[in-house]
Copies of this chain bind each other. A is one copy, B any other.
Amino acid sequence: MNNDLILLGHGSGGRLSHQLLDDLIIPIVSGTAPAGQNDAALLDPVAGQLAYTTDSFVVDPIFFPGGTIGSLAVHGTVNDLAMMGARPLWLSMGLILEEGFSKADLKVILEDMRQAADAAGVRIVTGDTKVVPRGKADKIFITTSGLGVVEHSFSIHGANAQAGDAIIINGTIGDHGIAVMADREGLKVSTTIRSDSAALNGLVAEIIAEAGEQLHVLRDPTRGGVATTIKEIAGQSAVSITLVEEDLPVDPAVRGVCSILGLDPLFVANEGKLLAFVAAEAAERVLARIRRHPLGEKAAIIGQVTAGEPGRVRMETAIGGIRAVEMLAGEQLPRIC
């Protein structure tokens, strides 16, 4: 037996499982002694409405410029809680490992998860590990779930966009998808492009503090990109939305790779971006506050909500035309998250 590799026995629930937990997973992820493992974690009572979410992560490659599958799994779930206006508190972690996966790589991924969790102020409190035979999974898949608490009384959700709302994004679009894609394809052009993977809960707290109930919708444009997310919200809120192409922040290198690959950055995944729908009168104030945050320096107002046909999204193009925006059709970039 090679001591550097994950074996089927590490998923048996028996002695090897306990060793992996005690020697590697628990010390890194929880930062506490491995004593007292139970079937579930017990958590202090929470005053307020709970937010609860889950996401599975299958990104390929598992290490990419700007992150790993581990930090991505933490950021993604923290962000889904933050998008409901909740304060993220606790995460769970389900690992599915391929037999023969490198323990050293697992260690790096777990350390990255822990660091991301610490930075976001959340704790990974419960987990599970399964191992499948070689060829039955690809290296490592991670499913995180998350729990948070809603500490304000107003409502932030996808059906709450209102005519007149300004739509703010906190920076450039498409960075995550293009960073992963360029790395996977070995494109040399891409050396400056990094995933934007980041926990947005700190920024959301700033936005809520500034906007209060003038904040109507928050959503992170991950798979499917800004186009798909905007289209979703237009449908849920039964409003029209107009985007202004010239106002969309796009990194020049990302734009370059997109044009080589024939991709529209509007459909490319982000992992550290949010769309905030804010009442018009608060928009400039909120934009200024976002720009003062490290994750919001390139924030911009990219469009607005109108009272037109429910679910319609249009874009004012750079050359002065108007085009319809639809959801991503088919699959542009498999295993992007």
Whether B128 and A329, one on each chain, are in contact in the complex, defined by CB atoms closer than 8 angstroms, is no
Complex contacts, A220 vs chain B, CB 8 Å = 39
Cα-based distance from A291 to B233 in the complex (angstroms) = 53
A 320-334 to B, binary, CB cutoff 8 A, 1 in contact else 0: 000000111111101
Rounded to whole angstroms, the CA-CA distance of A49 and B58 in the bound complex is 33
Given contacts A53-B126, A56-B130, A145-B145, list 20 more A-B pairs with CB under 8 A.
A12-B224, A13-B224, A14-B328, A14-B330, A14-B331, A16-B329, A36-B236, A39-B84, A40-B86, A42-B84, A50-B147, A52-B92, A54-B93, A54-B127, A54-B145, A56-B94, A58-B96, A96-B96, A96-B141, A132-B138
Please classify the interface of chain A as helix (H, G, I), strand (E, B), loop, or mixed, using the class held by over half of its residues.
Answer: mixed
Bound complex: CA of A232 vs CA of B38, how far in Å?
10
- The residues of A with any CB-CB pair to B shorter than 8 Å are 7-9, 11-18, 35-58, 60, 79-81, 83-84, 86, 90, 92-96, 125-133, 135-138, 141, 143, 145-148, 150, 157-159, 219-220, 222-224, 228, 232, 236, 267, 269, 326-332, 334-335, 337
Chain A to chain B: the 5 pairs with minimum beta-carbon distance, closest first: A13-B223, A14-B328, A13-B224, A143-B143, A40-B53
A269 near B328: Cβ-Cβ < 8 Å: no
Question: A17-B223, A40-B84 are contacts. A94–B9 as well, Cβ < 8 Å?
Answer: no
Asked whether A228 lies within 8 Å of B14 as measured between CB atoms, the reply is yes
**A40 adjacent to B46 (CB under 8 Å):** no
User: Given the known A-B contacts A84-B40, A228-B13, A331-B12, are A143 and B58 also in contact in the complex, defined by CB atoms under 8 Å?
Assistant: no
| CB-based contact A39/B132 at 8 Å | no
Task: Report the minimal beta-carbon distance from A51 to chain B, rounded to whole angstroms.
Answer: 4
Q: How many Å lie between the Cα of A37 and that of B53 in the bound state?
A: 11
* Cβ contact within 8 Å between B38 and A158: yes
CB distance from A67 to the nearest CB of B (A): 17
CB <8 Å contact, B96 and A56:
yes
Q: A45 to B43, Cβ gap below 8 A?
A: no
Q: Contact: B157 with A17, CB < 8 Å?
A: no
**Given contact pairs A14-B223, A331-B9, A54 touches B92 in the complex (Cβ within 8 A):** yes
- Residues in B whose Cβ lies below 8 Å from that of A58: 96, 130, 132, 136-137
Contact A136 B137 (CB under 8 A): yes
Give complex CA distance A289, B40 in Å.
25
Residues of B near A126 (CB, < 8 A) are 52-54, 145
Shortest distance from the beta carbon of A332 to any chain B beta carbon, whole Å = 7
Q: A125 contacts which chain B residues (CB < 8 A)?
A: 52
A50: chain B residues at CB < 8 Å are: 42-46, 147
**Contact status A326-B228, CB under 8 Å:** no
Q: Which of B47, B53, B158, B332 contacts A41 (CB 8 A)?
A: B53
Distance between Cα atoms of A16 and B330 in the complex (Å): 7
- State the CA gap A326–B15 with chains docked (Å): 9
Q: Are A133 and B334 in contact (CB under 8 A)?
A: yes
